[in-house]
Structure 1
Amino acid sequence: MNALTRRMVVGTAVVSMAFTLAACGKAGDDKNSDGSKSKGKVIGLLLPDTVTARYERFDRPLIQAKIKELCADCTVDYANAGQDATKQAQQVSSMIARGVKVLIVDPQDAVGIKSSVQAAVDKGIKVVAYDRLAQGPVSAYVSYDNEKVGELQGQALLDALGAKATPKSKIVMINGDDADPNAAQFKAGAHHVLDGKVDIAYEQSGLWKDTVANQKVTAAITSIGKNNIAAVYSANDTMAGGIATALRGQGIHVPLTGQDADLAAIQRILVGDQTATVYKAYKPEADATAEIAVDLLNGKDFSSVADSTSTSGSGNKVPSKLLTAASVTKANIQETVVKDGLYTAAQICTEEFAQACKAAGVQ
């Protein structure tokens, strides 16, 4: 490489770096990686993973958009933990160093993040727990009534089983990650509906991962016998995808639940690979969170939004907004996720699913 070429390459790299740094200043990017202080009205947003489809597709853009609508001069500083609790703790530390004023966090580990929440609060940062209730002195919490979500899931299984729902009917139960307090609430709600009406013959955590859920259900099939499984409870749609693959591979067709109304889950429901999901409309949850965050930023009262109270695992009484979810089956896809604009019929009814959409009245 001659001198002129080297100068051109270096110059191009500098320009490229300048554009990259400029892009980092936009709302939603993980900016100021050098640890420098952010200036002005900055709200941090930390989400737990990219495996669950909802976070990057819905939660992040909806929260960012509502904050900008409410506060035109606000900046949203975003990072994702990638299912790594240690990484999320580091992200909290980074946002503290950068001077965010309010921090919205969906904890990867609600217990483990307690010290990080305390560290933020000690620096005068207001913390809003999003979707999962973090331990520690958080200012507010926005989510859904998670025990009722579990009840919806359990009832969907019973409804699908019909007369086959007996105390001898063997059910496989794949719960969420124990580090997520919501998982325990989903589980409790489902047990409330299912206990005594069916036999929970195998119960394990799938860690919110499709691969782990697949492995657990495969083990359950070996343990119980493929002809003895009446239904499978899956705490969310990501795991339901792995479970559906395992069941299909063994030629087993039984009711299967889920949660989050993922697009792939809606399509599985259409063709009968999944029975039901739970639809938690993302926009009301995101909007309420953004409203509270902006109110906290501006020192305003937010009790009109957070109209109830929750108690965290650390005993903190937290002003809360708890929304109501809905069960989705093949019969009401059109009236729920399509009507609400979560997905268009065109997004759902690709060529592979066109016939099933027609039969279900999705249009």
Structure 2
Amino acid sequence: MRKGLFALAAVGLLATGSMAACGDDKGDDAGSASGGAAGKAGKVGVILPDTKSSARWETADLKYLTDAFKAAGVEAEIKNAQGDKASFQTIADGMIQAGVKVLMIVNLDSGTGKNVLDNAKKAGIATIDYDRLTLGGGANYYVSFDNNEVGKLQGQGLVDCLTAAKATKPVVSYLNGSPTDNNATLFKEGYDSVLKPKFESGEYTKGPDDAVPEWDNAKGGTIFEQQLTKEPKIAGVLAANDGLGNAAIEVLKKNKLNGKVPVTG
């Protein structure tokens, strides 16, 4: 649904825009889509962030965005910055120079994202923040989950598991997302709203609380291993996404705790 909204937002911006259509610069596209209306409507440029933080960018977003643009009859160039800020900027500059009518980005951080959005606006290109809000960026559209609600569901899921296990004053650790991603902030606001009352009442014990730079799963595993060494009695893990959750589970397996300690995703 979110990816459909993303394509609809692009189509809406194309329909209201006045710039001429541009040529099809294939370059080193990660993916492309075209349709009957593409030549007249203009082209959409999409920059995805990486493939390291989550498999979804390659296995889900690339595929479904490509399909959505094809179904909408919109030509699109989809590239992945592979976690490199310089590459992100270079890709954006190329799309702007090629004359895309709409630029959609998943920022690597708000600073880089804002610079790209500012350059697009100077060129008269409409912009969309996809999944991650670029703080101070002022994109024309922002398409995402209700990230605070996502965090609440993560927190409640962990509470449900600990309740089912009849855990007594369980130690709960946090594996938060990247400090540079506003989504991670919103997730934490959500799960804190569920778990903080448990900590304050003494029903739960607050354990280690760490952010994982760039949502890096390998770093997440290392951080959780350090958490477990510091606090061996961890009884629940609030991991901010599936990649970090799986990283924690691998560490739990090595310590023969998998299945005994619930982990969110």
Q: Which one-letter code corresponds to 1:231 in the other structure?
A: G
Q: How does 1:299-314 map to 2 (within 5 A)?
A: none
CA gap of 1:165–1:118, structure 2 versus 1, over 3 A, is farther
Q: What is the deviation of 1:174?
A: 0.2
Q: Which one-letter code corresponds to 1:176 in the other structure?
A: G
Q: Which one-letter code corresponds to 1:248 in the other structure?
A: K
**C-alpha distance in structure 1 between counterparts of 2:186 and 2:194, whole Å:** 13
* Cα offsets for 1:200-250 (capped at 9, x unmatched): 21011123122111111111111112xx11101111111112111101101
Q: Which one-letter code corresponds to 2:264 in the other structure?
A: T
**C-alpha distance in structure 2 between counterparts of 1:171 and 1:111, whole Å:** 33
**Which of 198, 206, 213 is the aligned partner of 2:220?**
213
Q: How does 1:1-363 map to 2 (within 5 A)?
A: 28-29=31-32, 41-51=42-52, 52-71=54-73, 74-135=74-135, 136-162=137-163, 164=166, 168-197=169-198, 198-207=204-213, 208-225=215-232, 228-252=233-257, 253-258=260-265
Q: What is the deviation of 1:164?
A: 4.0
Question: Unpaired runs of 5+ in structure 1?
Answer: 1-20, 31-37, 259-363
CA gap of 1:237–1:41, structure 2 versus 1, over 3 A, is same
Aligned residues of 2:32 and 2:75 also touching (Cα < 8 A): no
Q: What is the deviation of 1:104?
A: 1.1
Question: Secondary structure of 1:112's partner?
Answer: helix
Q: What is the deviation of 1:137?
A: 2.3
Question: Unpaired runs of 5+ in structure 2?
Answer: 1-23, 34-38, 199-203
**C-alpha distance in structure 2 between counterparts of 1:118 and 1:22, whole Å:** 22
Q: What is the deviation of 1:40?
A: 6.7
**C-alpha distance in structure 1 between counterparts of 2:177 and 2:104, whole Å:** 22
Aligned residues of 2:148 and 2:187 also touching (Cα < 8 A): yes
Question: Secondary structure of 1:187's partner?
Answer: helix
Q: What is the deviation of 1:108?
A: 1.4
Q: Which one-letter code corresponds to 1:43 in the other structure?
A: V
Aligned residues of 1:44 and 1:104 also touching (Cα < 8 A): yes
Aligned residues of 1:214 and 1:246 also touching (Cα < 8 A): yes
**C-alpha distance in structure 2 between counterparts of 1:47 and 1:22, whole Å:** 18
Question: Secondary structure of 2:186's partner?
Answer: helix
Find the counterpart in structure 2 of residue 336 from structure 1. Answer: none
CA RMSD of aligned residues (A): 2.4
Q: What is the deviation of 1:150?
A: 0.4
**C-alpha distance in structure 2 between counterparts of 1:25 and 1:181, whole Å:** 29
CA gap of 1:203–1:146, structure 2 versus 1, over 3 A, is same
Question: Secondary structure of 1:134's partner?
Answer: coil
* Cα offsets for 1:296-354 (capped at 9, x unmatched): xxxxxxxxxxxxxxxxxxxxxxxxxxxxxxxxxxxxxxxxxxxxxxxxxxxxxxxxxxx
Q: What is the deviation of 1:61?
A: 1.9
Aligned length: 226
CA gap of 1:214–1:89, structure 2 versus 1, over 3 A, is same
Aligned residues of 2:109 and 2:181 also touching (Cα < 8 A): yes
**C-alpha distance in structure 2 between counterparts of 1:170 and 1:86, whole Å:** 41
Question: Secondary structure of 2:31's partner?
Answer: coil
Question: Secondary structure of 2:71's partner?
Answer: helix
**C-alpha distance in structure 2 between counterparts of 1:184 and 1:23, whole Å:** 36
Q: Which one-letter code corresponds to 2:217 in the other structure?
A: D
